[in-house]
Structure 1
Amino acid sequence: MPALASRCLLAAACLLLLTPPTGSAAEPAPADDQRMAWWRDAKFGMFIHWGVYAAPAGNYHGEQVPWIGEWIMRQAKIPVAEYRGYAEEFVPTKYDPQAWATLAKQAGMRYVVITSKHHDGFALYDSSVTDWDIADASPYGKDLLAPLSEAVRGEGLKFGLYYSQAQDWTHPGGAKAGYDEGAGWDEAHRGRFDKYLQDIAVPQTEEILTRFKPDVLWWDTPVWMNKERAQPLHDLLSATPGIITNNRLGGGYAGDTETPEQHIPATGFKGRDWETCMTMNDTWGYKSFDHNWKSTETLLHNLVDIVSKGGNYLLNVGPTAEGEIPPESIERLQEIGAWMEVNGDAIYGTTASPCRRPEWGRLTRKGERLFLHVFDWPSDGVVRVPLRVATSYCRLLSDPSVGYSVTGGEEGLEVRLTGAAPDAVCSVVELGIEGEPEEVFQWTKPQADGRLVLAAAAAQTEGHVQQERIHGQTSLGYWTEPTDAVRWRVELPAATRFRVSAEVAAPAKAGLTVAAAGGRLGAEVTPTGGYQDFAVQELGEVSVDAGQTVLELQPRAAGWNPINLRSVTLTPVD
């Protein structure tokens, strides 16, 4: 799995390509821009975690092993000799690389990245460096990567390889998460890390670069890597000039892309290309009893959210030991593909939104075209866009014959929609613009009864907090750190004292601070049962000054536990 997992165990154990205006001559792109161009346009890729760990499928000696499937060897501390026995059960006779490539293409994905060797050290190709590979250790006896590379490229997609360069739980000397250098849970692990790099990691990296010529090399878990150890691996890349690499080699080598894992950064990465990698359920490698599947709506909203911030989405599938992608994954990818077939123009080749995310959805841009991704079709028929810009047309992307009226003012654009939402998950409105848009900051004002209703969709977030959809409503989740925060811009005609309530879901109690110009409130959220069990709770009272101010919710470090938040309501105190 990607590096976040190893960091957790160790602790416990864009540049944007803007379309030139019509009629202008584009400057020649720098070399890096030329190399990154296809990746920046692609937006959507398939991650494949596949290996021997698919045979136990999360089970060891009749017991279900907690956590992610591909870490079962480390989690259960399975001895090397015993784990090698699982290769006898890793016999992918149902493997159909063409079907996998076709599925990726149908889903609207533009590239595929598969694990050539994961942390268990098992290679999915016939390696000359070791016999711990598919050709020598499994009855299947033949390479898995070359047929997939051919099928993927035959569909017009790019082909990439993941390689765990430092962490290896089978070969002596490879890094073992949570253990000192040269140690592990088995005597067979003993060895020098530098010798492991010299004998296994460097020659295998050279093998996969030479044999498969991947378009992407996805390093993972730079445990114990310094510049001297990373440099021989980095130097091998020169033989593949167009290759794109990520930021997980170590040794100070930044690579081309940042790789947030299992979360979407609040604002992306300024000046850096980035890619969120994410699972469809809770595991990367196949785990027979993990049925916690994200909905198609959640996956599609993730894609749109990521692209609206200038990033790419690398969405994972974990095939079985027989070589089948789970039907739940196939169903979701086909449904995403159906949406992409209609609305892909608002995804591919776009750049980040020119404004903060609005309550109703997200925006992407392609030169003089703005795409409004409407998650929540407004009940009053009006989509408010926080931008000042001249417009030339406004229409439904899926049916350009359906036009909408647009008016502009000091508080931005108002698009007046008609009829019901054409797509229940995400409807896309195409807006022609003239010139550069200027962002307008809108302020939440009291309703007729004096209440301030602060919705999750209208919040500005900091840290790991991100929007998600639960039971068809937007909430703020992934509050994993005490430094995370959410904010709203509010405007009051007079200083007011409010009673504060929040609609929250929480498995454990959590301390919060509500702060604004005029006052602070220390409050406690009580358990509701779980992250999807929402209830309205009274938090206390706070005073807020007149005028424009920012109201912020911050976790209190002492006793903080993550919550999901739907809304905050401030009711004037009589």
Structure 2
Amino acid sequence: MTTNTYQIRTIVAGLCACLVAAASAEPANLNQEAQAKRDARIQSWQDAKFGLFIHWGLYSIPAGVWTGKDGNHAEQNAGSYAEHIQMRRKIPNVEYAKFADEFNPVKFNADAWVKLAKQAGMRHIVITAKHQDGFAMYDSKVSDFNIVDATPFKRDPMKELATASRKQGLGFGFYYSQARDHRHPLANWNKYGNTWDFPKRSKEDFITYLNEKAKPQIKELLTGYGDVKVMWFDVPYNMPVEECREIAQMVRKFQPDCVFNSRLGGEVWDYRTLGDNEVSKKLLSEPWETCMTMNDSWGYHKLDHNWKSTETLVRHLVDIVSKGGHLLLNIGPKADGTIPEPSVTRLKEMGAWLKINGEAIYGTKASPCGIPNWGRVTTKENGDNTTLYLHVFDWAKDRQIQLPVSNKMLSCSLLADSSRSLQTQSSTQGLKVSLTGDAPDAICSVIK
């Protein structure tokens, strides 16, 4: 893949004001930590821009299909998420637990998974430690419904991934479903609980579940796996505010540099996670994230072949970063521990693009120039100088693109080849850059 970028530098003195990210929705007195420490923690996460999400568990065995039928039939009115098959098909716990007897991912290789994430240009990994089925993908002492005690695999893949991530220089974090647990008899208080095995429960019952299982398991994850960079909580339905605050205090106590998302609930968070696959249509002033699937399902689905192209994924990354956001891109490994080849291919291709264009992504700030119709803009500041990165989606020969800036131009050249310059022209309408020749990159050509 031929990938080239251009370079635009201006002397700043009041370009367009870049958005300043809000520190957090976390109350100022939570754990009495200094504002500067919170800002540094969140800024480190924001600068990373790109992470790997992994949905892997017992649901990888049925892989979206139960009793010969696709678990995502339209009449189920339940979307297309393979990891929700127990809820959609109302599989009794006694039946669902039989998947544990089969789960033996002998082809799992933590070093290879982390190497792939690093090759893709990702800066951290977040993996499902416990999804809504209540099964722990680690050696939990709180519940024996876990991968070490209940499966023939008898290994802790979370421990292996945490070690491999540290060794290869990537951050590591956990997904944890705190508000839904189909296994625990007292957790059925929230929306989409286990109504087929258990009666409806009260708030008091639900808090008992949190105290008996969720909070002790969260503590296990925070204290047993070294540095945890991200705690990714999910489905905050009916989470009592006081319980959210207590969990937040646990994160602060055991992992002071760990960030956690808004799906904990109670408006206690470091950054906001938008809806599944939701991308903001505008620049946001708060730290935010899009979590995105490569196809339609988070967990591995054997019938889901609706893969997004590499071009679509790269442009999503650029779009999100240009609006001040962070992309957490998902893969769903198979039950044998291998990663589907379409995911591998796309991750490697994204990594090839980032190897040349990563400077225009990592550590950048949101566009100071709005959202142009020809692509997107990211920026970096260095003293009195500002570097603009123009990500051109719609490249056309002999075309000019325009920016609403009036600052003095220092240079305009290819990021990959600084000897190749582009002509610029200043006017009362702003700065014009002339595009000449064929598009340097078929996916996204970046001008610096």
Unaligned runs of at least 5 residues, structure 1:
1-13, 18-27, 431-574
Aligned to 1:37: 43
Aligned to 2:13: none
Q: CA deviation at 1:41?
A: 1.2
Structure 1 residues 200, 268: closer, same or farther in 2, change over 3 A? farther
Alignment of 1:197-236 (within 5 A): 197-212=210-225, 213-236=227-250
Report the more deviating stretch, 207-216 or 376-385: 376-385
Q: TM-score, normalised by structure 2?
A: 0.87
Aligned to 2:375: 361
Structure 1 runs (4+) deviating above 3 angstroms are 14-17, 175-180, 187-191, 254-260
Q: TM-score, normalised by structure 1?
A: 0.68
Q: SS state of the match for residue 136, structure 1?
A: coil
* Matched residue type, 2:127: I
Aligned to 2:423: 405
Match of 2:186 among 173, 184, 190: 173
Match of 2:333 among 300, 319, 341: 319
Aligned to 1:123: 136
Q: Is the 8 A contact 2:283 2:366 kept in 1?
A: no
Q: Measure, in 1, the Cα distance between the counterparts of 2:45 and 2:164.
A: 19
Instruction: String of CA shifts for 1:339-395, please: whole Å, max 9, x gaps.
Output: 000110000110000011111111100111100101111233322223322211101
Aligned to 2:265: 250
Q: Is the 8 A contact 2:271 2:289 kept in 1?
A: no
Q: Is the 8 A contact 1:95 1:322 kept in 2?
A: yes
Q: CA deviation at 1:214?
A: 1.1
Q: CA deviation at 1:267?
A: 1.3
* Matched residue type, 1:62: G
Q: CA deviation at 1:233?
A: 1.7
Q: Is the 8 A contact 1:167 1:221 kept in 2?
A: yes
Q: Measure, in 1, the Cα distance between the counterparts of 2:403 and 2:221.
A: 48
Q: CA deviation at 1:132?
A: 0.7
Match of 1:264 among 274, 279, 283: 279
Structure 1 residues 341, 292: closer, same or farther in 2, change over 3 A? same
Q: CA deviation at 1:236?
A: 1.0
Aligned to 1:60: 66
Q: CA deviation at 1:147?
A: 0.6
Aligned to 2:101: 88
Instruction: String of CA shifts for 1:495-540, please: whole Å, max 9, x gaps.
Output: xxxxxxxxxxxxxxxxxxxxxxxxxxxxxxxxxxxxxxxxxxxxxx
> What RMSD over aligned residues (CA atoms) do the two structures have, in Å?
1.9
Q: CA deviation at 1:108?
A: 0.5
Q: Measure, in 1, the Cα distance between the counterparts of 2:45 and 2:300.
A: 27
Structure 1 residues 285, 354: closer, same or farther in 2, change over 3 A? same
Q: SS state of the match for residue 137, structure 1?
A: coil
Q: Measure, in 2, the Cα distance between the counterparts of 1:268 and 1:216.
A: 23
Aligned to 1:164: 177
Alignment of 1:442-461 (within 5 A): none
* Matched residue type, 2:69: E
Aligned to 2:25: none
Q: CA deviation at 1:177?
A: 5.5
Q: Is the 8 A contact 1:88 1:139 kept in 2?
A: yes
Q: CA deviation at 1:165?
A: 0.7
Q: CA deviation at 1:114?
A: 0.5
- The structure with higher relative contact order (CA 8 Å, sep 6+) is 2
Aligned to 1:418: 436
Q: SS state of the match for residue 319, structure 1?
A: coil
Q: CA deviation at 1:16?
A: 4.3
Q: Is the 8 A contact 1:50 1:286 kept in 2?
A: yes
Q: Measure, in 1, the Cα distance between the counterparts of 2:428 and 2:287.
A: 33
Aligned to 1:70: 83
Q: Is the 8 A contact 1:58 1:64 kept in 2?
A: yes
Q: Measure, in 1, the Cα distance between the counterparts of 2:200 and 2:306.
A: 34
Q: Is the 8 A contact 1:383 1:414 kept in 2?
A: yes
Unaligned runs of at least 5 residues, structure 2:
1-18, 23-33, 73-79
Q: SS state of the match for residue 355, structure 2?
A: helix
* Matched residue type, 1:209: L
Q: Is the 8 A contact 2:398 2:436 kept in 1?
A: no
Q: CA deviation at 1:89?
A: 2.0
Q: Does 2:399 align with 1:384?
A: no
Q: CA deviation at 1:29?
A: 8.7
Q: Measure, in 2, the Cα distance between the counterparts of 1:311 and 1:390.
A: 29
Aligned to 1:184: 195
* Matched residue type, 1:384: Q
Instruction: String of CA shifts for 1:209-252, please: whole Å, max 9, x gaps.
Output: 00024111011111221123323322211221111011111233
Q: SS state of the match for residue 401, structure 1?
A: coil
Q: SS state of the match for residue 419, structure 2?
A: strand
Percent identity (aligned): 47
* Matched residue type, 1:421: A
Q: CA deviation at 1:318?
A: 0.4
Q: CA deviation at 1:31?
A: 1.7
Q: CA deviation at 1:15?
A: 4.0
Q: Measure, in 2, the Cα distance between the counterparts of 1:139 and 1:69.
A: 23
Q: Is the 8 A contact 2:55 2:299 kept in 1?
A: yes
Instruction: String of CA shifts for 1:168-198, please: whole Å, max 9, x gaps.
Output: 0111112466457xx6111488782122111
Aligned to 1:528: none
Q: Measure, in 2, the Cα distance between the counterparts of 1:366 and 1:301.
A: 19
Structure 1 residues 148, 179: closer, same or farther in 2, change over 3 A? closer
Aligned to 1:549: none
Which protein is richer in helix relative to its size? 2
* Matched residue type, 2:242: E
Q: SS state of the match for residue 224, structure 2?
A: helix
Structure 1 residues 55, 177: closer, same or farther in 2, change over 3 A? farther
Q: Measure, in 2, the Cα distance between the counterparts of 1:88 and 1:269.
A: 46
Q: Measure, in 2, the Cα distance between the counterparts of 1:52 and 1:33.
A: 38
Report the more deviating stretch, 231-240 or 290-299: 231-240
Q: Is the 8 A contact 1:360 1:378 kept in 2?
A: no
Aligned to 1:51: 57
Q: Is the 8 A contact 2:412 2:447 kept in 1?
A: yes
* Matched residue type, 2:206: F
The structure having more radius of gyration, on CA atoms, is 1
Q: Measure, in 1, the Cα distance between the counterparts of 2:192 and 2:69.
A: 24
Aligned to 1:239: 254
Q: Measure, in 2, the Cα distance between the counterparts of 1:78 and 1:268.
A: 42
Q: Measure, in 1, the Cα distance between the counterparts of 2:372 and 2:271.
A: 30
